[in-house]
């Protein structure tokens, strides 16, 4: 790398969060970069929002029950933004060949189980974020397949430091076991005032007009074959790229289904 690539700059910005505002400072590359490359900055911003919400919960006598070693939510559908798909592709290809082959085997095994259950076509055609009975039913039917995320090992996430934004956004205050059986037990999701995963999805949809801007996580190895590099479409110096993301944050203010999938689906599944 040259010196320009190593140089960073601190950027302060303010975004609307719920009924208020959130001021943050981000350290981004001073030189040329792209949206995929600054994902760690967005992950840090998401973590800060979640920490603030967690502090509010604690003050109210509640706490987030999600802990290391609990993989309950790691068996539900995960919409993966195409930018995060690009980042995970680069990480997977940096692994030893044996590790890559093991991951490929897990993804293939999961897809075969979904195909046997008749869920793949529904996953492709259904709008996962729609407030419809069919979308809720798909989420429940998928969960009941008990297919662990291929990145899950011994009930812990092996990509936890750089896991997708939407995985960070799924938080509950109810006992973890409630997440395993939404047909009979009620999960209490934590409602975030801002869902940054929605911004990434919206940006992806802008680039790929015939897509939703995301793919099902379990389709990642198939997507890798495309050789796509969507991050390059949103490139420039660090502050410019961050601005392109921040100015679209208004799109994220609608409530996210990511934290509501199990709880909203429980009443439907019980019928």
Residues 180, 72: Cα–Cα separation, whole Å: 6
Label residue 176 exposed, middle or buried (CB < 10 Å: 0-12, 13-18, 19+). middle
Local structure of residue 191 (DSSP, 8 states)? P
Residues composing the chain: 271
| Residue 96 confidence (pLDDT) | 98
Helix/strand/coil percent split, the chain, to 5: 50, 15, 35
The pair of three-digit structure tokens given for residue 122, joined into one six-digit string = 């529904």
pLDDT at 182 over 90: no
Sorting pLDDT into bands at 50, 70 and 90, what band is 251? low
How far CA 172 is from CA of 30, 46, 119, 251, in Å, comes to 38, 16, 26, 23
Q: Which residue has the higher pLDDT, 85 or 59?
A: 85
Q: How many domains does the chain have?
A: 1
Q: For the chain, list the strands marked E by DSSP.
A: 8-17, 20-29, 32-34, 79-81, 152-153, 156-157, 214-216, 235-237
Q: Which residues of 239-267 are buried (b: 16+ CB within 10 A; e: fewer)?
A: bebbeebbeebeebeeebbbbbbbbbbbe
pLDDT at 88 over 80: yes
What is the DSSP pairing of strand 156-157 with strand 152-153?
antiparallel
pLDDT at 52 over 60: yes
pLDDT at 256 over 60: no
pLDDT at 68 over 80: no
Give me the residue label for tokens 């429980």: 266
pLDDT at 259 over 70: no
Task: Specify whether the CB–CB gap between 206 and 67 falls below 8 A.
Answer: no
Residues 65, 53: Cα–Cα separation, whole Å: 13
pLDDT at 190 over 60: yes
Sorting pLDDT into bands at 50, 70 and 90, what band is 270? very low
C-alpha torsion sign, points 162, 73, 110, 135: negative
Task: Give pLDDT tens digits for 100-122.
Answer: 999 999 999 999 999 999 999 99
pLDDT at 47 over 70: yes
Q: Which helix (H) or strand (E) holds 121?
A: helix 120-125
Q: Which helix (H) or strand (E) holds 57?
A: helix 39-59
What is the DSSP pairing of strand 32-34 with strand 20-29?
unpaired
| Residue 234 confidence (pLDDT) | 96
pLDDT at 162 over 80: yes
Residues 63, 94: Cα–Cα separation, whole Å: 37
pLDDT at 78 over 50: yes
Domain span at residue 145 reads 3-269
- SS3 of 133-174: the string is HHHHHHHHHHHCCCCCCCCEECCEECCHHHCCHHHHHCCECC
User: Which of these ranges, 12-26, 73-87, 195-209, has the smallest mean pLDDT?
Assistant: 12-26
């Amino acid at each position: 790398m040259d010196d320009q690539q190593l140089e960073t700059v601190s950027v302060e910005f303010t975004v609307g969060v719920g009924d208020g505002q959130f001021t943050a400072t981000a350290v981004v590359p001073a030189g040329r970069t792209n949206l995929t490359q600054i994902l760690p900055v967005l992950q840090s911003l998401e973590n800060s929002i979640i920490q603030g919400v967690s502090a509010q919960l604690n003050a109210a006598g509640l706490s987030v029950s999600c802990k290391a070693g609990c993989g309950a939510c790691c068996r539900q559908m995960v919409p993966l933004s195409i930018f995060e798909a690009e980042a995970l592709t680069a990480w997977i290809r940096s692994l030893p060949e044996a590790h890559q082959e093991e991951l490929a085997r897990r993804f293939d095994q999961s897809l075969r189980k979904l195909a046997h259950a008749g869920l793949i076509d529904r996953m492709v055609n259904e709008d996962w974020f729609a407030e419809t009975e069919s979308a809720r039913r798909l989420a429940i039917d998928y969960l009941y397949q008990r297919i662990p995320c291929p990145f899950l090992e011994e009930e812990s996430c092996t990509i936890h430091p750089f896991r997708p934004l939407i995985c960070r956004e799924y938080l509950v205050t109810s006992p973890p076991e409630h997440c395993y059986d939404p047909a009979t037990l009620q999960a209490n999701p934590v409602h975030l005032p801002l869902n940054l995963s929605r911004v990434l999805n919206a940006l992806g949809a802008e680039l790929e007009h015939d897509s939703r801007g995301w793919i099902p996580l379990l389709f990642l190895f198939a997507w890798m074959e495309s050789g796509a590099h969507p991050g390059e479409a949103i490139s420039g110096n660090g502050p410019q790229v961050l601005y392109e993301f921040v100015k679209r944050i208004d799109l994220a203010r609608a409530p996210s289904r990511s934290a509501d999938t199990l709880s909203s689906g429980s009443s439907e599944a019980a019928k």
